[in-house]
Amino acid sequence: MTAQQLKNLRSSSEYIAYFSMEIGINTQIPTYSGGLGVLAGDTVQSAADLSCPMVVVSLLYRNGYFKQSINEQGEQIESPVAWYPEEFCQKLNATAKVTIEGREVSVQAYRYDIKGVGGHVVPIIFLDTDIEGNNPYDRSLSGTLYGGDERYRLCQETLLGIGGVRMLCELGYQPENLKEDVKGAHTVSRYHMNEGHAALLTLELLKLKTKASGRSDFTEDDVSWVKKRCLFTTHTPIPAGHDCFPISLAQEILGDSSVKWLERTHGISAGIMNMSHVAMNLSNYINGVSKRHAEVSRSLLSNPSVKGITNGVHCSRWVSDSMGRLFDQEIPGWQQDNFELRNIFDVEANKIVAAHRETKQQLLKLVLDHNGKKLSPDVFTVGFARRATPYKRTGLIFEDLDALKAVAKNTGPIQLIFAGKAHPKDTGGKNLIASLHQYAQELDKSGINMVFLENYNMDLGKLICAGVDLWLNNPLKPLEASGTSGMKSALNGVPSLSTLDGWWIEGWVEGVTGWEIEDNADAMVQGSDTEQNRQRAAQSLCQKLTEKIIPLYYEKPQAWAEIMKQCISINGSYFNTHRMVLQYLQNAY
Ligand SMILES: *Cc1c(COP(=O)(O)O)cnc(C)c1O
């Protein structure tokens, strides 16, 4: 994209409509569960900073995502989080109607404005069905994120995709060339589906176009018209991560004629509606969220045209307070232009080390307040926080407890900070959390402190990623589509120790930005995810700690400070959503 095109875009009235099932704006607004929502929040904040004309659609979730606590046995306890949308958002004076299971459901909307550094505003439109006149089931549809059964989920996706397009029209954001003559109306030139949950927006656009052409049935031209306006970002390399629904359920919820249309566009085939296919078949641009993920998606979706745009994080949201102050002093303008972070090499190392230490102390104070454990700022601290689910292999570092104890005894003291929620229905994930509890007790006997911080959310994420000395990540390859928490660490001068998966394949320079956990297990290579390979990965993890990382930390503080700079300069300056949104602008929008 040329500078002129970018300028034109900024002044244009052509909007990008960004649809996401979840969005993480801040900890007070619990409309996100994890990575997908956090990415959406970071994307929208960067779009606002870059003055990108964008409008965002999501659901309101009055019950939020759950609050996590851990009982004496180490079990996860879930409780709802009450929040009051009225305190944060403006209720809009608009109603849209969506037909769900043959009922006409009324939809209202709340607006939350994201302001960019230069004052540009990106509105988020939260859809809400909790309206008098809707039946109790329909009123509950905007209630709980990833709650309920398959039916509830498809009803929610209908609300997001179809209800979202309709609500945007009500609010004056209309698709190009179909504009009704509404005063002050905006043109939407692109519809971006952040994951397949919003896929049904393509069906609604196809209906709008067909109707505007005065026909009752769509033609190839109508399909091309929709495709030209839609793009789809897939976020998971796990087949089960692509939402699928039986055709009978689609018939009940969407009706026979919609199902016939979806069959003709191959969103439904062999009796299954696959939301990724619904989205993909009516999009002109399809992408995965890292280079490796794009490669895996090309095969998973049998589509050679899938591109890769690697995720990022919004730097000013994820930099710690102390490191942010240092950047402000030393690299003026870095918030507008994250590429400037490259110049961290000119900053004195001791200032970076001091800024990090301040954040570490803040984190350790939080640990003391919440867990009653006093950790030392002088001890090498390993962090691990992410959704507890089997493929992320939460407990890999504890595979051989004696080896870990030996590392601490012979190489240098270590302490560990863990966090992460398990999805309420993920028994495997819950078991992982409970097992962490056991490991903590076992390690305690050898004088190694390990704590689990309850209720992982964005505030906690920011503090843990920035405040530890090493960020640990050990998913089973290639199932971590991108991962973003390691990027948050890098931005704060914290190196990663990670299996080569997702973003880390691109961000990894051995001994410069972090280290690789060597791992022969690969979910795409049949028979390689064995107990033996798992143990070898755990061994490699301990070996890197013993031979490379811990000695460097304790014995060569200057070299460690150089690594901190390299993390910021090489990875912080690149793995951010400013760069990512620019790539979407250049390649996709
Ligand atoms: C950053 C973040 C995530 C995503 O991190 P991954 O590395 O992709 O697992 C999830 N949850 C919270 C609260 C976060 O801050």
* Beta-carbon count within 10 A of 470 CB: 23
Alpha helix stretches (DSSP H) within 372-500: 401-410, 427-444, 458-467, 485-491
Q: What integer best gives the mean pLDDT of the chain?
A: 95
- Tell me the CA–centroid distance for residue 485 and ligand 1, in Å: 5
Please give the CATH architecture assigned to the domain spanning 321-573. 3-Layer(aba) Sandwich (3.40)
Distance CA 224, CA 547 (A): 57
Query: Based on the number of CB atoms within 10 Å of its own CB, is 321 exposed (0-12), middle (13-18) or buried (19 or more)?
Result: middle
- 383: CB partners within 8 A, 6+ apart: 416, 417, 418, 464, 465, 467, 468, 470, 471, 472, 489, 494
Q: From the CB of 392, is ligand 1 less than 6 Å away?
A: no
How far does the chain reach from its first CA to its final CA, in angstroms? 11
Q: pLDDT band for position 177 (50/70/90)?
A: confident
- 257: CB partners within 8 A, 6+ apart: none
Closest to 548 (Cα-Cα) out of 503, 580, 505, 516: 516
- Tell me the CA–centroid distance for residue 311 and ligand 1, in Å: 12
Please say if the pLDDT value at position 5 is more than 90: no
- 298: CB partners within 8 A, 6+ apart: 304, 305, 306
- Convert the pLDDT of each residue in 345-383 to its tens digit: 999 999 999 999 999 999 999 999 999 999 999 999 999
For residue 368, which phi and psi values (nearest 5 degrees)? Answer: -60, -45
Pocket test for ligand 1, best of 28, 474, 484 (most atoms within 8 A of CB): 484
Q: From the CB of 560, is ligand 1 less than 6 Å away?
A: no
Q: pLDDT band for position 428 (50/70/90)?
A: very high
Please say if the pLDDT value at position 181 is more than 70: no
Q: From the CB of 471, is ligand 1 less than 6 Å away?
A: no
Closest to 312 (Cα-Cα) out of 579, 114, 513, 567: 579
In the structure encoding, which two tokens stand for residue 225, read together?
Answer: 């018209």
Contact in structure between 468 and 429 (CB atoms under 8 Å): no
CATH 3.40.50.2000 range(s) for the chain read 3-312, 321-573
- 3-state secondary structure labels for all residues of 345-409: HHCCHHHHHHHHHHHHHHHHHHHHHHHCCCCCCCCEEEEEECCCCHHHCCCHHHCCHHHHHHHHH
The kind and range of the H/E element at 251 are: helix 247-254
Say what the pLDDT of residue 587 is: 94
pTM of the model as a whole: 0.96
Closest to 265 (Cα-Cα) out of 306, 301, 298, 219: 219
The ligand 1 atom at the shortest distance from the C-alpha of residue 33 is 11
Q: From the CB of 449, is ligand 1 less than 6 Å away?
A: no
Q: From the CB of 457, is ligand 1 less than 6 Å away?
A: yes
Please give the CATH architecture assigned to the domain spanning 3-312. 3-Layer(aba) Sandwich (3.40)
- Convert the pLDDT of each residue in 275-293 to its tens digit: 999 999 999 999 999 999 9
Contact in structure between 316 and 333 (CB atoms under 8 Å): no
Distance CA 418, CA 432 (A): 12
Nearest CA, atom 9, ligand 1: 386
Closest to 386 (Cα-Cα) out of 395, 378, 374, 377: 395
